Amino acid sequence: MAGARLEVTRAQILAFRRRVGALDERLPPGEASLRRAAWAVLQDSMPRAALLSLHARVAAVAPSVSEDPSLVQLWGPRYSVFVVAACDRAVFSLGRLPEDARGRQRAEGLASRLQAVLGGRRMACGEAGRALNVHPNSLRYAAATGTVLIRWDGARQPAVWTVPPPEVDAHEACLELARRYLHIYGPTTPEAFARWAGVPLRHAAAVFEALGGSLAPVRTAVGDAWILAEDEAACRAAEGPAAPARLLPSGDSFLLLQGADRALVVPDAERRRALWTPRVWPGGLLVGGEVAGTWRRADAAMTVQPWRRLSRAERDAVAAEAQSLPLPAPPTRRVAQKRPGNRRSTGSTRPASPPVHPRPAERGAEAARRPASTARPGRTGEHLALRLARLARL
């Protein structure tokens, strides 16, 4: 992995990640696009997170996309819930099979027992745990064998079932896991890969070493890192036009970062604390290719809190993006837009446009998480209220 380090700027890195992540321009509908969107898996630990990540990358995504046979749900990196292309199941399960004898024995033994208990059936995770006399959460360890799939919609316990083992070597699956990570998260380091995949650092370092000449060294504003050699030209390419707005869900791969990578994407420390909170992360607002705020959704109410004043065109782009989310919504809504500091609003009825209401920052993050005040009794679930909360003017 020796060689002169390529200097890459922050702008080049963000443009590269957006480009390979299909965030600048949505991919056409279809199975191939769904696979590309989930190239390094899509976290689904929050209800509908993977659905919204797919929507940010693929055109015409329907609320029922999770039922597409080309996609599966599993316990992947860090034993969190992810959505992945069915044909890539081995990469994100078997690719994490422990190398140590004790860890491998636990995973394979539990998977064997689970298969015997289920007998080809689907079963609630809690029920399966009781049948095996183990804590339901421990069933996640069996997922590293590539034989366990789940179905979780956020409302109930996940259903679990077993499938035939992948016909892939575990070591090769692990190398491909690292290549997928490098392509979507690069430039990156073995330390970052270890945290993302949930594997020991010594194991991650050995994997990077095994990739050898397929990696290229780079220097970034936050330190030395690596990219796939085949991605060097794309990483150096001029920045193209970014999408006007994207609403990325909590845990989206563009934001699933740690340490110095967070500082690269969001240089301001206060804004990093607003995005990567100690508890449940909000979603990220992407405007013109930059993270420009956060957003949260509670039932039918959505609160978008930008970090700077948005232009009229930017506000319209955010409103249009919110309206396009693949969630139940009425065909016509009243649009109420207020200028910062102006208590009066002008309203009009437009097809497929959500209400837009600013909320002063001094009311605090807790107020921003409450359902929109415009949701009248009896209308919950019928109206998607979008509130643009103005922070201190930059």
pLDDT in tens, 43-69: 999 989 999 999 999 999 999 999 999
What's the pLDDT tens digit per position in 70-86?
999 999 999 999 999 99
Region 129-156: mean pLDDT is 95
| 379: nearest Cα among 360, 355, 359 | 355
**β-sheet bridge partners, residue 228:** 215
Residue 380 has pLDDT above 50, yes or no: no
Q: Where do we find the tokens 């110095």?
A: 260
Q: How far apart are CA 22 and CA 132, in angstroms?
A: 42
DSSP state of 95: G
Question: What single letter denotes the amino acid at residue 72?
Answer: V
Q: How confident is the model at residue 36 (pLDDT cuts 50, 70, 90)?
A: very high
- Between 336 and 314, the higher pLDDT residue: 314
Task: Summarize the confidence of residues 385-391 as an average pLDDT.
Answer: 54
Predicted local distance difference test score (pLDDT) of residue 239: 87
- Residue 146 amino acid letter: G
- Contact predicate 58/27, CB 8 Å: yes
Secondary structure of 237-268 in HEC code, one letter for each residue: CCCCCCCCEEEECCCCCCCCCCCHHHHHHCCC
CA distance 246 to 52: 10
| Separation of alpha carbons 254 and 75, rounded Å | 20
Cβ neighbours of residue 316 under 8 Å, at least 6 residues apart?
none
Q: Comparing 160-174, 294-308, 347-361, which segment has the lowest mean pLDDT?
A: 347-361
330-349 per-residue burial string, b: 16 or more CB within 10 A, e: under 16: eeebebebbeeeeeeeeeee
- Residue 394 scores a pLDDT above 70: no
pLDDT band at 2 (very low <50, low <70, confident <90, very high): low
> Between these two residues, 156 and 280, which has the higher pLDDT value?
280
Strands 123-124 and 215-220: unpaired
Cβ atoms 253, 184 nearer than 8 A: yes
Better-predicted residue by pLDDT, 147 or 279: 147
CA 159 to chain centre: 22
For residue 377, cis peptide bond before it (omega within 30 degrees of 0): no
**Range 169-195 average pLDDT:** 98
Q: Which tokens is 237 given?
A: 């390419």
Calculate mean pLDDT across residues 32-46: 97
pLDDT band at 193 (very low <50, low <70, confident <90, very high): very high
User: Which residue in the block uniquely carries the two structure tokens 């990696």?
Assistant: 215
Neighbours of 221 (CB within 10 A): 13
The overall average pLDDT reported for the chain is 86
Q: How many whole angstroms from its chain centre is CA 12?
A: 21
Answer yes or no: is pLDDT of 316 > 50: yes
pLDDT in tens, 273-302: 999 999 999 999 999 999 999 999 887 788
- Both tokens of residue 133? 């006399």
For 377, how many CA atoms within 13 A lie in the half-sphere containing its CB?
0
Nearest of 239, 354, 264, 220 to residue 300 by alpha carbon: 354
149 three-class SS: strand
Angstrom distance (rounded) from CA 61 to CA 28 = 10
3-state class of 344 per DSSP? coil
| Residue 160 identity | V
Length of the chain: 394
Q: Distance between the two ends of the chain, CA-based, in angstroms?
A: 43
> What is the pTM assigned to this prediction?
0.85
d(CA 5, CA 192): 19
Per the CB < 8 A criterion, the answer to whether 88 and 76 are in contact is: no
* Pairwise CA distance, residues 82 & 150, whole Å: 10
pLDDT tens digit sequence for 224-254: 999 999 999 999 998 899 999 999 999 999 9
- Confidence at residue 238, expressed as pLDDT on a 0 to 100 scale: 86
**Positions of E strands within 71-147:** 71-75, 81-85, 123-124
Does residue 215 contact residue 228 with C-beta atoms inside 8 Å?
A: yes
Task: Please name which of 146, 152, 389 lies closest in space to residue 137, comparing C-alpha atoms.
Answer: 152
Distance CA 213, CA 386 (A): 49
Percentage above 90 pLDDT, the chain: 77
pLDDT at 359 over 80: no
Q: Is the pLDDT of residue 143 over 80?
A: yes
